[in-house]
Chain A
């Protein structure tokens, strides 16, 4: 199978969906003539024109809200918010409007909106351009939250998100755009279902559940653990909401040990949610406490040494896996 870049996989998904459905439109800062700061939207403007591919002013609340209104009235907008940090500016539109419309209007409204954005640290963008805010959105009923880790998942999930009738927060990672991976040839049929986890590496000794770029770190950790005789299974939920808990439970029933990895801050984060759910659903299967690997509870610092210390790492995942196996005693 061909190998393509994560960014190109996303770009292909947008081209294919815009060609398939005239209701799909794209809005955001620099997404048109410039092709997007990450070049994910390149070529769309030339092909589909300025109305369907709207370059917007720097007005995150405004263009996100416009996309919500457009979604309620027959379009399927894909909005690009350049950094997830900036989505804070559009919070009312996402949380109070998009997420609630269907429920509070008694099921009559449909908000088929995709908000594409990117998060994560690791490249010295400092505190306002490095956050992992996925759990803000996971907390809101009515939203779907997706974080693809591979080019194949990026393409297949973006296409599914565009076809979904719910508001979807689609979170890419700034350090994944230049990664490559196998993706089927272009065509309408490469769809990855929302809400289905993927076993990225099968194993029998310990389950590592990781999201977004942490999947790549978990796979590296698994290789190193294998060299020491520990066979780790790496599961990527791919969709944080709805979460494929049964897939995680099935793995825990096999391994009895669980490490949850997420790049967001530890407190109130994804790993706590996974731990709470698994202990309730699979308490008898656990042979050790659920281990959590997450960012320190600090704003992300600019300095590289400090940033590295704040974020999860391969070493931290390995240490957590060993702790789950009581190898640290």
Chain B
């Protein structure tokens, strides 16, 4: 697949969409308009957009508690997602899931997940299902470096390798695991070494280079679709904000995030430069995408705020089929 100019600009738009969605979520949370907790994807946009650009509409993803980015990258509707964060009846889950349970089965989004590593077995099951049905679908399972320590990865990864399932385990190494740096909790030097336990091929990619993520994903997706089995993929990136909105970030150097926010490292800035230098886009093209994303999110927030709360009978709906 060659990415044409429109597709590239759409990727740029999607990255901004994620950035502004989470900026909006943070603002609403700080204004006490969101309940519970919320986790932002800021700084990791290149991973979700790069990976999902390599997928078809009917391919599956599983997401994480830090899931807004994955869902938007797979085509999730920002209006219905924002309404969900606001707990409204128009939300993608009718206001009953919230930030950590965004799902859209029509787009193959099998759900964000409140359990760290919770999507790993589900994704593997979706791959088993695709394989058994002979549908040609593939699965990208997003999880973090923190989740890579969950035992379920050992079990599911082993079965995926044994059964040559069409799945990509995409570990986003954002360098933090909840309220701690991840490194002191991982015994191996490089995360891709974990794939050796399954005899599974592994690739590592610069997660802040959206085109590198796209190209790597495209190759391993082709491999999976051809029936050649799963791949373990590590995308190295950085979690610019805290574990949750409101996290005091006492566990990391104050200037560290500034470095990753700089134009040299920020995935949106980096992609913008490549678009100009390698693909003939203009600054005006980029600005148009940014402004479109800004407007989309403003509109999504307005839609959410104007939407009604669920009626009380909804409490008892959808417990059972």
Contact = CB atoms under 8 A, between A and B. Distances in A.
B118 interface: yes
Contact of B93 (A68, A93, A106): A106
A66 interface: yes
Interface string B96-114: 1100010111000011011
Given A73-B110, A109-B103, A65 B132 contact: no
A70 interface: yes
Nearest to B156: A62
A102 B95 CA distance: 13
A72 interface: yes
A51 to B, nearest CB: 5
B241 to A, nearest CB: 24
| A-B pairs, 4 with minimum CB distance | A69-B125, A65-B121, A62-B155, A106-B93
Given A93-B121, A105-B93, 12 more contacts: A52-B132, A57-B158, A59-B158, A64-B121, A65-B155, A69-B62, A69-B126, A102-B318, A105-B103, A106-B97, A109-B111, A142-B320
Interface of A: 25, 51-52, 54, 56-57, 59, 61-75, 77, 92-93, 96-97, 101-110, 112, 141-142, 144, 164-166
Contact of B159 (A52, A59, A75, A109): A59
17 contacts: A57-B155, A59-B155, A62-B124, A64-B121, A65-B120, A66-B156, A70-B132, A73-B60, A73-B129, A97-B113, A105-B97, A105-B101, A105-B111, A142-B319, A142-B320, A164-B321, A166-B320
A140 to B, nearest CB: 11
B152 interface: yes
A86 to B, nearest CB: 13
A103 B114 contact: no
Nearest to A66: B125
A268 B37 CA distance: 32
Contacts of A72: 105, 110, 122, 125-126
B319 A70 contact: no
A65 B93 contact: no
Contacts of A63: 155, 159
Nearest to A107: B318
Interface in B116-135: 118, 120-133
A97 B115 CA distance: 9
B156 A68 contact: no
Q: Which of B110, B126, B127, B132 has the largest count of A CB atoms less than 10 A from its CB? A: B132
Given A72-B110, A72-B122, A110 B321 contact: yes
